[in-house]
Each structure stands twice: as structure tokens, then as C-alpha cells.
Amino acid sequence: MAADRNRTNERAVVDTHARSVVKGLVWRVLATLATIALVYGFTGKPMIAMEVGGLEVIVKLLLYYGHERAWNTIQWGRRELAVVQVEASAVAAAPLVGADQKSSPAGTIQSTQNNERRRRIECRRS
């Protein structure tokens, strides 16, 4: 099960929403350019290739939305993650561990160099 998690220096890594949006947009541009190139290669007509490319963006956007909504109704492959609740006073009083350290003991509060106000509790299963 650990194979489905991204890990860096023994810490879980999660993509930000901004990164996911940029990755999605870059992929969409590459895929559409590939479609345009293929249609142009088959037809030799740039206008038809552009029209198919434009239509492809809209159709695949709608198909992807429907695909995601359908998968949200399927429970296969999902699992619950443990949630740890900590009182704010305990978080404020906890020592900070720098992000440049390679690993830290389970349950320690960590901060990143980019934003020391954001802290998270790292829980590891034994």
C-alpha cells in the first residue's frame, strides 16, 4: 500500500491545487496539439485540424467531468485515513523541526521553510 504514496525523505508529499491545475492545463494543451497534428497529417487541411482540435477540447472536458462524477459513486479502491486532533495550545507549544532534516520521529510537528506558520502532524503506521 505504500507504493501508492509519494514520499520524499520519509515524509508524505501532496501536490497543491495550483500544481494540479497547471499539470492539467499543460496536459490538455499537449493532447490537443497532438490531435491537431494527427488530423492535419491525415487531411492536410489546417482549418479542419484546428476545428477538430477545438471540438476535441470541449468534448473531452465534458467526458472527463462525467467520468469523475461516475467514479465518485464507486467505493472500490478507497480507504479512510486516520485523523488526529490536537488542541491549538499543544500545536503552538510544540518544537519545530526544520524541513531540511531528512527525517523526524513519528508524531512530531514539522514546519516548512516556505511557511513556518503551517504545521502538520505526521502520523506513521508501525
Q: For the chain, how many structural domains are there in total?
A: 2
Same domain (yes/no): 63, 98? no
User: 97 lies in which domain range?
Assistant: 88-121
- 78 is a domain residue: no
Same domain (yes/no): 65, 98? no
110 neighbors 119 (Cβ within 8 angstroms): yes
Q: Model's pTM, two decimal places?
A: 0.52
Predicted confidence (pLDDT) per residue in 7-39, tens digit: 545 567 788 999 999 999 999 999 999 999 999
Same domain (yes/no): 103, 62? no
CA distance 77 to 63: 21
Predicted confidence (pLDDT) per residue in 85-99, tens digit: 777 666 566 565 554
